[in-house]
Amino acid sequence: MNAAASKAGRLALGGYFALMAIFLYVPLAVMTVFAFDDSHIQTLPWSGFTTRWFHAAFSNGDLIAALQRSASIGLATAAGSTLLAIITALGMTSRRLAFRGLITALVLLPLVIPYIVLAVGLLILLNWLGLHQALWAVLLGHVGVSMPYCVLIILPRLRTLDEAIFDAARDLGAGPWSAFRRVTLPLTVPAIVSSAIIAFTISFDEYAIASFLVPAGQETFPVYVYSGSRTPALEPQILALGSVVVAVSLVLVTLAEVVRKRAERRLATA
Amino acid sequence: MTLRAETTAVESSPRALLDRLPSPGRGWLTLPAICFLLSVLVVPLVLVGLYSVNLLTNLVGVPTGFSLVNWDDFLPPGENVFWDRFRTSMLITLLVSVLAVAAAYPLAYFLSFVARRRRYTLLLLILAPFFTSYLLRVIAWKVMLANNGVINSALWELGLRDHGDGLSWLIYSWFSVSLVLLYSWVPFVALPIYVVLENVDTRLLEAAQDLGAGRLATFWRVTLPLSLPGVIAAFVFVLIPTTGEFIAPLLVGGPESYMFGNAIQSFFSETPNWNYGAVLAVWLIAVVLVLLLLFGRFLGRDLRQGRATA
């Protein structure tokens, strides 16, 4: 007997879950369907099948350049914030850490400050320093906002590692760096990979900070997508490339989860 | 700790002694992040604060000097369009937060109590859209809701409404902004509730029923109270980011449903008045901090439980 739900209750919950799952995927499916629609305007009836928006999107130099820019900033963010998060998390697992509460609050601060405020803050900072909008400023902003997520992924993993393994390596003559590299790091790899993926995703999708800090003519993908979605001539291309991006990220999320589960199982049995 | 003290005591090699004796810990490893976050986060926020009281300005020919003129203008009493915008924005935020939690609870309940073996797959199924581009999801909704969009034109094709006569509330309205925000938050919000429900000991539910409670009574008096920390955490997870939302209203919102974030944005782009915009930005942070003070302890509790199960 199930104490949480009767048979009818289980059916109703299952039905609700199925409906919600459909609700979550319908807009994505509709976007994909209209990416293949032979019309500038996304309306019913469907005008017929075409792949011309995909051809147009992939031969649109501005769009591809924006995509490449976002990919570069995303990779740099993933590398930068994960590296910073590993170092920070190592420091935060220290037994004696002065101002632990303050440091934790500072690291988690970007989670609660609205992006729009961070964006205008960085804009004011650039102006105050006499600098112009630049992609490196976007990168710094992205590292800042993705770092707390990276720390929250890596820190619990480090906490579950038995400190005695590290101490044993040290007692056997390994220096702190070598003990870290050959003991701690390999055991943290799954968390590091998740952290890098999350950071890339955050950066690749980030609109608010980028919209204030990109220089004219150097739009990132979300900034280009936003302005494109308001330009009827460009919108079908946005839908075409958008459906590719959504499909790729759905596949990546699934893969990442499968890989993470498998790696965790292996580490658990090792 | 005691084990460590003993091993230190029996250390004999000089190198190990040298390593251990000063033992500054490795807390200094947090320094790079502290410096980085101070410069890209805290310094900008301080500058925003200075702008809000006119100690700095980007306006040419305007003298700087401490002044609360913009604060006076914005805060009640007195009519102010941006204060109205703030109130509207908070109402939408509250509405979306409550609805998102209510919509996500049965999902989490289903995952932890009904979908036993396939729950991780199903959890991934509803979480996956959350990890796709937020902007693209909002654009997808615009395709659905637009005046000539999929929903309206489907109604025309089905003969349910006259051609060209779209539902006026479908887009650029409270409805569209709330719907899109709700859509994007539901999967994410199911997660903290799910984590808490997973920790509920089902023997407690069985005990309640052995003692004569029906399933509904068991839910109201055992399951729901036990899951309350997760519910409140989920509520705050929506409440805080939505307070500063501006992308959904930008694409599917109208004059009545622009949010406070849009007001801030406009002062830094279309009609540049950074000093006034800074007042709104500082106000937004203050509101978020008050919300955190009110609800923060629930977040802490939820995180601890999440860590215990992870």
Render pLDDT for A192-209 as a digit per residue (tens, 0 to 9). 988 998 899 899 999 999
d(CA A117, CA B278): 9
Rounded Cα distance between A219 and A65, Å, is 8
Assess A13–B contact: CB distance below 8 Å, yes or no.
Answer: yes
Spatial CB neighbours of A161, under 8 Å, sequence gap ≥ 6? A184, A187, A188
Residue B295 pLDDT: 81
Q: How far apart are CA A61 and CA A58, in angstroms?
A: 8
d(CA B264, CA B298): 29
Indicate the residue of B44, B187, B247 with minimum beta-carbon distance to A121: B44
CB < 8 Å from A in window 241-280 of B: 241, 243-244, 246-247, 250-251, 261, 264-265, 268-269, 274, 277-278
Helix A235-269 / helix A7-35 crossing angle, nearest 10 deg: 130
What integer pLDDT is reported at residue B301 of this predicted model?
Answer: 53
Distance from CA of B184 to the nearest CA of A (A): 8
Q: What is the pLDDT of residues A67-107, one digit of tens each?
A: 999 999 999 999 999 999 999 998 888 877 888 888 888 99
Nearest Cα to A91, choosing from B1, B34, B300? B34
Which H helix or E strand runs over B248?
helix B247-252
Assigned token pair, A134? 């630049």
Rounded Cα–Cα distance for residues A212 and A133 (Å):
8
Residue B87 and residue B76: Cα distance in Å, rounded? 12
pTM of the model: 0.85
Q: Does residue A137 contact residue A126 with C-beta atoms inside 8 Å?
A: yes
In Å, how far is B216's CA from the nearest CA of chain A? 9
What string of DSSP letters covers A9-43? HHHHHHHHHHHHHHHHHHHHHHHHHHHTBSSSS--
Low-confidence stretches of chain B (pLDDT < 50) are: 1-11, 17-18, 20-23, 302-310
pLDDT (average), residues A18-23: 94
- Chain A residue with CA closest to B282: the answer is A117
Q: Give the integer Cα–Cα distance in Å for A120 and B274.
A: 9
Q: List phi, psi (to 5°) of A129.
A: -85, 0
Residues of chain A numbered 167-186 and touching chain B (CB < 8 Å): 167, 170-171, 176
* A-chain residues near B31 (CB < 8 A): 91
Q: What is the nearest CA distance from A185 to chain B, expressed in angstroms?
A: 16
Which residues 206-235 of A have a C-beta within 8 angstroms of B? 207-208, 212, 222, 225-226, 229
Among the residues of chain A, which ranges form H helices? 7-35, 52-58, 61-92, 100-108, 115-128, 135-160, 163-171, 176-179, 185-205, 208-213, 221-229, 235-269
In this prediction, residue B306 carries a pLDDT of 42
ω into A45 cis (within 30 of 0): yes
Peptide bond into B77 cis (omega under 30): yes
Q: Which two tokens stand for residue A24?
A: 């979550």
Distance CA(B149)–CA(B70), nearest Å, equals 42
What's the CA dihedral at A156, A157, A158, A161 to 10 degrees? 120
* Contacts with A, B 63-92, CB within 8 Å: none
Nearest Cα to Cα of residue A43 among A34, A32, A51: A34
**Contacts for B201 with CB less than 8 Å, ≥ 6 apart:** none
Please report the number of interchain residue pairs, chain A to chain B, with beta-carbon separation below 8 angstroms: 283
Check B265 against A116: CB less than 8 A apart: yes
| pLDDT score recorded for residue B299 | 67
| Span A101-114, pLDDT tens digits | 888 889 988 988 99
In B, which residues are within 8 Å of A207 by CB distance?
134-135, 247
pLDDT of the residue at B52: 92
Half-sphere exposure of A139 (CA within 13 A, CB side): 14
CA distance A9 to A154: 39
Contact B126, A24 (CB under 8 A): yes
